[in-house]
Structure 1
Amino acid sequence: MNKRPLYFDYAATTPVDERVIKVMVECLGFDGNFGNPASSSHAFGQQARQSVEQARRQVAELVGAQPEQIVWTSGATESNNLALKGVAQARGVPGGHVITSQIEHKAILDTARQLQDAGVAVTYLVPNADGVITAEAVSEALRDDTFLVSLMLVNNELGTLNDIRAIGQVVRERGALLHVDAAQGAGKVAIDLAQWPVDLMSFSAHKLYGPKGIGALYVGPRAEQRLQAQIHGGGHEGGLRSGTLATHQIVAMGEAFALAQSGFAEEHATIVRLRERLLEGLLSLPGVRLNGCAKQRIPHTLSLTFNEGEFNSAALSTSIAFSATSACNSASNAPSHVLLALGHDARSASRTIRLSLGRYSTEQDIDQAVNLIKAAVASAPAFWAIAP
């Protein structure tokens, strides 16, 4: 059996932590906690409901929310759809204005285009040279009819970090709601929704060592009466998201968020140390540059561009698992819209790789990756530099 490549694609998905798998499996099978949480008339359903509510508390505790403000969804994509479409439809009047940015995840950009088709005006903010959306840019774009601003906490390709607290203050002063896609930020950034001026926030378990197919949406007090359900049938989750709750996945997401909270400081320090080791090895190469702000970022995700003639990505394809763009862009084989928004052309975007670190990254992984990338640079075909 061939040796598996080094894993440097934690931003795409994380492996499920063994401790999370354990509590997840305990909700499967006849001897497990398999009941329907909505079946309140017997012990099986009651036990499942207790586990679901414990998980709701665990998610809330990591982000400084109240448990009743957490709505279960199938993932951040559904949460984003519920936030954007739900707020737009709850207004009961046509038109209006939404602000987002050119470097959002496709779950936001595609949903924003759906709103445009429905008659909503949408402004797509251009990031600054550091790959950041500033509060000043948001302030300048706000209009009297702006009802929602949707921006990510951490960019999924660059790792850059928006100042959501400053942005939220500007948005709140104008009476609009602020939605934040925090799929890449939860567990990596200290979030306090009790203090942050944020009205809606999206989460996904599989970015935080939980299973795929489960997520949540935080619904703050200003958004409670300004959100319309997108999935109907039973009135689950306070009427905002119908459907039988997936106890095993919800319990697993709760455990994943609890582990992230208990190990936050130690894990962050480890990732910082590994990131510095990786950068020290790669930025010494000629013509390599880091995309996005060097300081206003999380340490987990790095986007690096190599000069023409100095990088042979094919040499790495079987030895390192990395991304050239986000996982959701890879299927289309198109240049990264994030890099294009930062001023890259298609060629420089094609010479860019995203390396993302995580819980199971080691110093040995870092050193091996640096050596493999250096070898790929050394073996780059010289004709690349003069290719049309």
Structure 2
Amino acid sequence: MKTRSGTRRWTPLAALVLTGAMALPAWAGPTTSPPVEPGNLRVMTRNVYLGASLTPALAAQDTPALLAAVTTIYSRVRATDFTIRAEGLADEIKRESPDLIGLQEVTTWTTSGPGTGPSQDFLAILQQALTRRGLHYAVASTSPGSDVGPIPLAAPCASATIGACTLRLQDSEALLVNERTPGLHWSNPRHGVYQARQSVPLPGVPPIQLVHGWASVEARHHGVAFRFVTTHLETQQAPSVQHAQAAEFLAGPAAGPGTVIAVGDFNSAADGSTTDTYRLLTGRFRDAWTEASPGGPGNTCCQSAELNNPDPQLTSRIDLVLLAGAASAKSARVVGADPFRAAVPRYTSDHAGVTVTVDWRRPAGR
């Protein structure tokens, strides 16, 4: 979960997007991706971004500061409007045509009280955008994460009474399966949360727990059995928590014989510059980006919290596709690194995503 900050005013563009009255331009990036050959599988990992940094609230020292921080955070969520970003994300998914998608920071912002405006369910909004493009992705598994609130929201609120309006944040991971992929079948959806977690004290309210988890399915593609898992680990600001979560991941959903494809925001730089979690993970898995050798650094993090930087500013590779067993990375590419529109929000997320085409030839020497 992000701990950065930014600001921007709310605009009414969401209604135009939902009614189709405004066409969002293909601002940058290829219009098509290389086709998936018969027998290959394409997977994607995508942190969709909760829409704002939580730093103002986590740093609040007293109740007035906390109330001001909540107002600031929600104004930024509205400025980075997910109803707009979902259109760009759906275009990315249409271009890439992944068979399986792991999503992180799939957020629900729930408001109550007079004048607060509508709540936002990111998963429902994204599904609507996919459906408008004729795409058919089933939500195969979800995992609940952090659940913060309800907490008083001072603005927007049509009442001066503190507590008349509230805001609640619910974070989750989600796993989507393309229902139109020939030869792909899935079953046994599972999910879980990590016992290791960061606890943050807040003034005037109980401490909040920053909860992360995982979601998985058992799948078969043209007769090849494998497990597909998506996860999100704690940030580098809490390295011991992140490392403990990675150990739980390896001992839990990633454990056992057979082929596993794990995707997610692991929050550990692949070059070892932040935490040693990447090294721990690659003791069990192969890194698909390294195996496919596509060239370039493959950086995926991070754009500005306000999604307003003119040019991409990705400096680390923390969004990974990891392989164990018979899955072999045939190709890999970063998606969503460039602006998708001229106005703010300029980017679909503060992260770029990664797509990997997998074939089922066991790598030499494995």
For the pair shown, the structure with the greater C-alpha radius of gyration is: 1
Whether TM-score is above 0.5 comes out as: no
TM-score range, shorter chain: under 0.3
Name the structure where helix makes up a greater proportion of residues. 1
- Structure number with the bigger relative contact order (C-alpha 8 A, sep ≥ 6) is 1
Q: TM-score, normalised by structure 1?
A: 0.25
The alignment's TM-score, normalised by the length of structure 2, stands at 0.26
